[in-house]
Amino acid sequence: MEVEGYIVDIDYWQFRGSMSIRLFVKSVDGKPLMLYDPSFKPYFYVLPNDWKNSGMIETLKIIDSGKELKVASSEVVEKSLNGANKKFIKIFVDSPSSVPKLAAHLSRYGTCYESDIPFARRYGIDRDITPLVLYRFEVDETDGNFIIKNMHKLEGANLSLNTMHFDIETYNPLGFPRPEKDPVIMISYSYVSNGRVGNAVMSTKRINRDFAQFFEDETSMIKGFLSKVAELDIDVISGYNSANFDIKYLIERSKALGFDFNLSRFEGETRIEKHGLVEKVKIGGRVHIDMYLVVKFIAVVGAAESILKLNSYKLKDVYDAISEDEKLTVEKTKGQKWKDINELWTGSDEDLCLLADYNLSDSESLKKIYDYFIPIMIEMSRVSGNVINDTSVSTTGQLVEYLLMRYAEAFNEIIPNKPGEHEIRLRLMSPIEGAYVKTPDPGIYENLSILDFRGLYPSIIIAHNIDPSSLCDTCAEYYESPSGYKFDKNRKSIVPTILQLMINERKEVKKQYKKNPDNIFLGSRSQALKITANSFYGYLGYARSRWYSRECASSVTAYGRQYIQETIQSAENAGFKVIYGDTDSIVILLGDKTEEDALRFMHDFNSKLPGAMELELEDFYTRAVFVGKKSEKGPSGAKKKYAMISKSGHIKIRGFELVRRDWSKIARDTQRQVLETILREGDAEKAAMLVKNVIKRLRAGEVPISELAIHTQLRKSMDSYDSNSPELAASRKAFESGLKTKDELEHAVISYVITKKGSTISDKAQLEEVAKDYDPEYYINHQIIPATMRILKELDFKEEELSNEGSQKKL
């Protein structure tokens, strides 16, 4: 029989006496299925030290915990390693758990490869699985089980998954919850299932809300939640920091109550696993996505402008950044005194209703965040080939590595082993020279253009066939990088091949998206391809990379420096003044030349570039501000610190304090207003007056405390710091007064205000929620003046002209 559906997840399970791969598939008619593939066997490779003793490898048997482990079968295969063809012994074993154990014993006879690749991931690599796209499966059905005979990808229908977004509240009289003692008091959820939508709050107290559901005790409430997930046939369950807290707490709390917390749809358990430096939740037949990790990933890769300037990644802050309305918090109690969750739980009926509203708002907000960000994660999963459960907890480097693993199999290449700690330390001791930067002369400029290379590093890799396997000493035809390394022109290599495919696909996707801008998945696909392609250079130079190559990474940056310097020289030869250049872009002054002259120069320059390399027009700008910096050699232009306004009115800002969280909101807002006034109106006098008005408001005590909070993070325990700092002093005061626990403060983002009382700045620092006043002179001299003088000094303003009455100058 045939089944059509989408591969959502891959794992393995006991099936007919042995471990078998199983696929969680969502069929086109909406049914969840588990398909088994018992034909796929775990294996790894050995490169023998001495082929005369290779027979010993194939007959090896060991005893592990009283069980005999042995080689099930083997074969000699030829594969490429570091560009050279070699013969390997492919070792098949009966169980995935036997692979690392047998490999450890066989290492005395040779070097083992690919023994650290998880079994389910091995299957995805070998079968070239693309998750979340439509497949047709030929299956045999026996006793209700579906065994895969064959499968292939199709084009067709869109995937629809049943989703639930949840949040828990716990009673925590000590300030931090203890799963062995402190109960879960509420569980809220919001769902979309088979066309139905809904939400609810489960609680062990009766609450006067239509969405509230009452349970006699905590055990029945948690089990009721498990039943609701099953009843709604949920495919994806999402939380916010839920791997680290909500689900972990429910697992441990349920154990204390005497039962197992298991969300699995099919056979299996709900467990927490390590994935690199983070934790993920594994659920049989369902997918868990921790949106906290997704949001941090999106912020790092810059795929959502709305969250790049957040002071923290708290659920409320993220929701407020992407939504037109503001998320409910328990602090907003209609003029009442602030109450924490424990006080609301033990308080009046009105308090309970507020707590239920707040708990439900967490799940409803999470649903909106999920809907906003999940398209890009789905496309990252499809591009990399990684199942979405793993994609959602991965770095860009991990996604690139998995993509390379898939292509290594297709290219018949051995996947390199992970480096050991000694090798990593050696790599870190030899850093790679970075990009070329031409610093600007500080000042205000008009009539400019930015030209930048489209995907500079990917296009360099493609144009010069840069890949570890392409490195050569004796090849007849080669590209020689400015670093002196040679790359075989005629070898088809993995990294350039992948990048060329991705660049070609992105061109087509962008064309389709331009015709259909409402298709969010086309836009997300384009972003996913761009993010992944731009991550390859960093991966080649990453010390923990399997495909690390100092020769490749240094060659890429060397070519980058060469091409940007050639671009600057060519632009100046053509009569343009280049005022700034950085990595892959230049800023030119048009002067008496026209926009057509700039485009003509770009076209002529492109005609001389190799391969996929291409200089593009970013935009034309009417005005720009470049600022200076102090250095040991005297004042000079600052790198990556400028603001400019395009002909269409779009303002581009790079490097100013308004995008940093360790400056107060009033400093960032004032700086932005100054920049916008200068860029839009060209009115320096008005910009300076803005600053003077803010200073007057500060001295008059008219600025709200919330605009003065400074946000920073404690990176380690409070006792580990040798010197004091404002954030540390504020944290210690909060701890010593009993306001906060160490768990709430350490490694957390701290928001503090510099108040009037105290002899030093650290003495004056208090957490935002307890600050009653502020020191206006601190904010004037250490926030407002420094933030705005970086701009206004380019107009010959002096500090005393802002803080006191003085002469002003016009642009």
- Per-residue pLDDT reduced to its tens digit, 340-385: 788 899 999 999 999 999 999 999 999 999 999 999 999 999 999 9
Is the Cα dihedral 360, 361, 366, 372 positive or negative?
positive
Least Cα distance to 327 among 363, 375, 293, 289 occurs for 363
What is the distance, to the nearest Å, from the Cα of residue 247 to the centroid of all Cα atoms in its chain?
Answer: 21
Return the number of other C-beta atoms located less than 10 Å from residue 647's C-beta. 11
Average pLDDT of span 775-800: 86
Is the per-residue pLDDT at 335 higher than 70?
no
Which of helix, strand or coil describes residue 60?
coil
| pLDDT tens-digit readout, 151-166 | 999 977 688 999 999 9
Q: In degrees rounded to 5, what are phi and psi of residue 493?
A: -115, 155
**Is the distance from CB of 251 to CB of 283 less than 8 angstroms?**
no
Whether the Cβ atoms of residue 677 and residue 686 lie closer than 8 Å to each other: yes
* Res. 232: pLDDT tops 60: yes
Q: Are 484 and 393 in contact (CB under 8 A)?
A: no
- Residue 405: which of 151, 152, 128 has the closest Cα? 128
Examine the pLDDT at 12 and tell me if it is beyond 90: yes
The answer, yes or no, to whether residue 213 has pLDDT greater than 90, is yes
Separation between Cα atoms, residue 211 and residue 434, nearest integer Å: 57
From the list 122, 97, 129, 120, the residue with the least C-alpha distance to 10 is 120
Give backbone dihedrals phi and psi of 606, rounded to 5 degrees, phi first. Answer: -65, -30
Q: Are 678 and 767 in contact (CB under 8 A)?
A: no
With contact defined as beta carbons under 8 Å apart, do 794 and 661 qualify?
Answer: no
- Angstrom distance (rounded) from CA 673 to CA 696: 16
Cα separation, 203 vs 521, whole angstroms: 38
Question: Distance between alpha carbon 634 and the CA centroid of its chain, in Å?
Answer: 38
pLDDT at 337 over 50: no
Q: Quick one: pLDDT at residue 747?
A: 67
Residue 293 CA to residue 371 CA, distance in Å, equals 15
Whether the predicted pLDDT of 270 surpasses 90:
yes
Question: What is the CB neighbour count within 10 angstroms for residue 156?
Answer: 12
> What does the block give as tokens for 580?
């700034």
- Please tell me the distance from the alpha carbon of residue 664 to that of residue 706, in angstroms, as a whole number: 9
List Cβ neighbours of 495 (8 Å cut-off, separation of 6 or more): 404, 461, 466, 467, 468, 536, 540, 547, 552
Whether residue 378 contacts residue 132, with contact meaning beta carbons closer than 8 Å, is answered with yes
The per-residue b/e assignment along 518-531, b for 16 or more CB within 10 angstroms, e otherwise, is eeebbbbbbbbbbb
Dist. CA 603–CA 595, nearest whole Å = 12
Secondary structure, 3-state, 150-196: EEEECCCCCCCCCEEEEEEEECCCCCCCCCCCCCEEEEEEEEEECCE
Given this model, what pLDDT does residue 637 score? 61
CA distance 301 to 641: 19
In this prediction, residue 632 carries a pLDDT of: 47
Give phi and psi for 697, each to the nearest 5: -65, -40
Long-range contacts of 245-249 (CB under 8 A, 24+ apart): 246/166, 246/167, 246/168, 247/272, 247/281, 247/288, 248/272, 248/279, 249/168, 249/170, 249/177, 249/179, 249/184
> How far apart (Å, rounded) are the C-alpha atoms in residues 470 and 491?
6
Other CB atoms within a 10 A radius of the CB of residue 273 amount to 12
Tell me which residue of 45, 48, 95 sits closest to 69, measured CA to CA: 95
Distances (CA, A) of 776 to 447, 673, 753, 765: 39, 20, 11, 13
809 has a pLDDT exceeding 70: no
Structure confidence at residue 661 as a pLDDT band (50, 70, 90): low
Maximum CA pair distance of the chain? 92
How many alpha carbons lie under 13 Å from residue 236 in its C-beta half-sphere?
Answer: 25
Tens digits of per-residue pLDDT, 233-257? 999 999 999 999 999 999 999 999 9
In this predicted structure, what is the pLDDT of residue 714? 75
Which tokens hold the place of 736?
A: 């010593």
Give the Cα separation of 208 and 197 in Å (integer): 22
For 66-107, write each residue's pLDDT tens digit: 788 888 999 999 999 988 999 999 999 999 999 999 999 888
What is the model's pTM? Answer: 0.85
Which amino acid belongs to residue 529?
L
Q: Which of 50-64, 691-705, 757-771 has the lowest mean pLDDT?
A: 50-64
Q: Among 121-130, 549-558, 657-666, name the one with the lowest average pLDDT.
A: 657-666
* Alpha carbons 792 and 627: distance in angstroms, whole number: 9
Residue 354's SS3 state is helix
Q: What is the DSSP letter of 444?
A: E
Q: What pLDDT score was predicted for residue 305?
A: 66
- Work out whether strand 270-275 and strand 61-64 pair parallel, antiparallel, or are unpaired: unpaired
How many percent of the chain have pLDDT more than 70?
93
Helix locations, 472-615, DSSP H: 494-515, 520-534, 536-540, 550-573, 595-606
Classify 93 as helix, strand or coil: coil
pLDDT at 808: 44
Eight-class DSSP state of 439: P
Could you give the CA distance from residue 333 to residue 707 in angstroms, rounded to a whole number?
21
Average pLDDT of the chain, as a whole number? 89
Position 723 pLDDT exceeds 80: no
Alpha-carbon distance of 295 to 239, in angstroms, equals 12
Residue 770 has pLDDT above 90, yes or no: no
Q: Is 752 exposed, middle or buried (0-12, 13-18, 19+ CB in 10 A)?
A: buried
Q: What pLDDT does 225 receive? A: 98
Work out the pLDDT band at 605, boundaries 50, 70, 90: very high
Q: How far is CA 389 from CA 252, 284, 347, in A?
A: 22, 12, 40
Lowest mean pLDDT among 51-55, 409-413, 601-605: 51-55
Q: CB 540: neighbour CB atoms within 10 A? A: 26
Using CB atoms within 10 Å of the CB of residue 220, give its burial: 0 to 12 exposed, 13 to 18 middle, 19+ buried: middle
How would residue 328 be classed by pLDDT, with cut points 50, 70 and 90?
low
- Give mean pLDDT, residues 7-30: 93
- Determine the angle formed by the axes of helices 396-410 and 520-534, rounding to 10 degrees: 80
**Residue holding tokens 């051995």?**
414
- Cα separation of 286 and 273, whole Å? 15
User: By the 8 A CB rule, do 548 and 419 touch?
Assistant: yes
Residues 618 and 629: beta-carbon distance below 8 Å: no
Closest CA to 297 of 271, 278, 317, 316: 278
Position 691: which residue type?
V
Q: What pLDDT does residue 807 have? A: 42
Q: Does the pLDDT of residue 612 top 90, yes or no?
A: no
- The DSSP letter of residue 399 is H
C-alpha–C-alpha distance, residues 621 and 365, integer Å: 38
Q: Which two structure tokens, joined as six digits, stand for 475?
A: 């090849």
d(CA 96, CA 72): 12
Task: Single out the residue of 673, 675, 718, 723 nearest to residue 697, CA to CA.
Answer: 673
* Bigger pLDDT: 266 vs 165: 165
3-state class percentages of the chain: helix first, strand second, coil last, to nearest 5: 40, 25, 35
Q: How high is the pLDDT of residue 810?
A: 42
